[in-house]
Amino acid sequence: MQTEKQKLGAMGEKMAKKFLMKQKFNILSLNYRKKWGEIDIVAKKDKTIHFVEVKTVSYETQENGYMPEENVHPWKIKRLHRAIETYLMENNVAHETEWQIDVIAVFANLKERKVKFRITENVF
């Protein structure tokens, strides 16, 4: 059974996927998991693969000045990097493309059924 926080996170990832698709990204993978890390969204635009970490919070949290991107700590980036290396090798694209890590902050206003996004590109 999912907690409310997990439900909010799953909803945020779904909304982030739709947002990226509207921005002309090609979604390659969702929730790519390994023992050593997880990638929320793998997307490609032009010749760059974007490994996207999604952080979702309620809209009320944004009003308090909270920045969910701050939860992508160095240890999280290290775990992400290991998962990215595995993804690139498994998909045989390690040497043929550029890649970057992006963070999408999703601010969900559940009462009004509205969502705002903030993207921080190339955080690594």
pLDDT tens readout for residues 86-99: 999 999 887 777 99
pLDDT at 8: 85
> Considering the entire predicted model, what is its pTM?
0.87
Closest to 81 (Cα-Cα) out of 37, 43, 118, 122: 37
Mean pLDDT of 59-69: 61
Q: Which CATH number does the domain housing residue 115 bear?
A: 3.40.1350.10
Which pair of tokens denotes residue 9?
């996170």
For 25, which DSSP code? P
Beta strand 114-120 with 48-58 is unpaired
Range of the domain at 94: 4-120
Token pair 């907690």 in the structure block, residue: 3
Q: How many domains is the chain partitioned into structurally?
A: 1
- The predicted-structure confidence for 10-41, as pLDDT tens digits, reads as follows 999 999 999 999 999 999 999 999 998 899 99
Q: Using alpha carbons, select from 81, 108, 83 the residue that is nearest to residue 9.
A: 108
- DSSP annotation of 124 reads -
